[in-house]
Amino acid sequence: MKLAFIKPNIGRMEHSLYVDEGRMEPLQIGVLAALTPPHVEVVLYDDRMEEIPYDDPVDVVAITVETYTARRAYEIADAFRERGIPVILGGIHVTLLPDEPRHHADSILMGDAESIWSTVVKDAEKGCLKPVYRASPGMPQPGFKARRDIFEGKGYLPMTLTQFSRGCRFACNFCAVSQYFDRRHYYRPVREVIEEIETQERKLVFIVDDNIAGDREALKELCREMIPLGINWFSQASLDITRDLELMRLMERSGCLGHVIGFESLKTENLKWMNKSPNIGGFDHYKTQVKILREHGQHTWAAFTIGHDHDTKDSVSEILEFALENKFAFSAFNILMPYPGTPLYRQLESEKRLLYDGKWWLHPEYRFNNAAFIPGNMTPDELTAACHSARRQFNSLGGILRRAADPYKLKSISKLVYYLTYARLFRKEVYKKHGMQFGLKNASST
């Protein structure tokens, strides 16, 4: 049997698919490939950078679906099914909204696939795939390493992706991760993570956890084990890491470059409304937290969500000023998105504030980085324009160079090189992706 894994694109620019120059290895596919029996031939088609050979002989197709890629994923699935090839759809979007993808698949897989993938493959070999497979969330990669040979030759960023934990213990109202994992956290044994990193030649590692600091003592143990490896690494963490100075010191010693950190808002009213608990305690406009991050050499990627009910056009400008003043290595000015299954989505739906018939991810008129709901103090167009303007100003050539002159970045040549390399890449993506259409076809795929 030949099994094709597919990583879908987001959509198209004018008349062709968007080519993602910042694409990373699709770790989740490497995990499933490692769990696939050796006698099954495995191939990866990455729609973000190559054409999918629909007419090449394969026996079954497995597609990972995210909300942003759902429309394109369904187009791909439908094309294979028209050729009589069975399709399996899985991923967080499928788990949170199973009634939608089942119309485009022979089988859907809900939950984390590790515990059930071998059964799915056996059923596919027998030609008797079940309509639905359900697995519980759990520990990532228990007892095995991801298969990485399938990534070769596809031009991924020169970094190794791995995972320590899954889930997040917080309950932010806009976050699909909290809903998916029900505020639980699952950890791999530290030794397994270290052994996987040791098998890689690269010295830059992205640990793809939703919140690597969900258990600070577990993270301390991981940091202690990483110190001898001589690597640089980064991940995603909640802002409350700054409350533990021992952890900050250990991260610095272990080669941590920094984290994607959800600052989200400068307004306490917004933080309370979104239930962003790690940001509320001892709030002083983040002065203390930013000072601690800088003192420990963290090149912070500050993430903001904009469009909460207390946001205005002026508050977007304040966020931009804050990001520029603090010389964050990177900043994301994200429009608040109502992901299906989240408390935010249900609230906006009940208040009749959702646009695009509620399913913005499928609507043919929706465009990437556009508002998908009616904000409290702006029009949708004003919110879209304000966020795009903040991205453009922060990622201007002048802004990049001013941040490069930050003494904290100049302390390390390697950190400065990483910063300049990826700042240039992210600047390009700001302009390429804005206003992009989801999917390749013009007709809606519902």
Burial of 3 (0-12, 13-18, 19+ CB in 10 A): buried
Burial of 333 (0-12, 13-18, 19+ CB in 10 A): buried
DSSP summary character for residue 436:
P
* 80 has a pLDDT exceeding 90: yes
Domain boundaries, the chain: 2-134, 158-281, 300-446
Percentage of the chain lying above the pLDDT 90 cut: 77
CA distance 155 to 158: 8
CB 88 within 8 A of CB 105: yes
For residue 244, give every residue at least 6 positions away whose Cβ sits within 8 Å of its Cβ, in sequence order, or none. 216
Residue 167 Cα to chain centre, angstroms: 13
List the single range of 310-319, 394-403, 411-420 with lowest mean pLDDT: 411-420
Burial of 386 (0-12, 13-18, 19+ CB in 10 A): buried
DSSP summary character for residue 354:
B
DSSP H helices, 275-337, are: 287-295, 313-325
Summary mean pLDDT of the chain = 92
Confidence band of 445 (pLDDT split at 50, 70, 90)? very low
CA distance 157 to 172: 30
Q: What are phi and psi of 144, to 5 degrees?
A: -150, 160
> pLDDT by residue (tens digit) across 167-203?
887 778 888 887 777 778 889 999 999 999 999 989 9
Count H helices and E strands in the chain, helices first: 16, 17
> pLDDT by residue (tens digit) across 30-54?
999 999 999 999 999 999 999 999 9
pLDDT at position 180 is 76
CA distance 236 to 300: 10
pLDDT at position 442 is 65
Q: From edge to edge, which strands make up the β-sheet containing 11-13? A: 16-17, 11-13, 437-438
Q: 102-135 burial string, b = 16+ CB within 10 Å, else e?
A: eebbbbbbbbbbbebbeebbebbbeeebeeebeb
DSSP H helices, 357-412, are: 380-394, 397-404, 407-410
CA distance 257 to 290: 15
CA distance 237 to 234: 9
Place of tokens 């994923």: 73
Write a three-state SS string for 83-143.
CCCCEEEECHHHHHCCCCHHHHCCEEEECCHHHCHHHHHHHHHHCCCCCEEECCCCCCCCC
Quick one: angle between helices 313-325 and 380-394, nearest 10?
Answer: 10
CA distance 134 to 113: 8
> pLDDT by residue (tens digit) across 269-325?
998 989 888 888 766 889 999 999 999 988 899 999 999 999 999 999 999 999 999
Does this model's pTM top 0.95?
no
CB 360 within 8 A of CB 366: yes
Amino acid at 296: H
Q: From edge to edge, which strands make up the β-sheet containing 204-207? A: 160-162, 204-207, 232-237, 256-264, 301-306, 330-335
What is the rounded radius of gyration, in angstroms, for the C-alpha atoms of the chain?
22
pLDDT at position 185 is 82
CB 31 within 8 A of CB 146: yes
Q: What are phi and psi of 70, to 5 degrees?
A: -60, -45
Residue 137 Cα to chain centre, angstroms: 18
Q: Average pLDDT for residues 94-102, to the nearest whole number?
A: 95
* 443 has a pLDDT exceeding 70: no
CB 260 within 8 A of CB 301: yes
* CATH class of the region 2-134: alpha beta
Q: Residue 322 corresponds to which tokens in the numbers above?
A: 């804050």
pLDDT at position 239 is 94
DSSP summary character for residue 169:
S
CA distance 340 to 315: 27
* CATH class of the region 158-281: alpha beta
Amino acid at 266: L
Apex 96 CA angle, 104 and 13, nearest 5: 60
Cβ-based neighbour number of residue 325 at 10 Å? 9
Confidence band of 381 (pLDDT split at 50, 70, 90)? very high
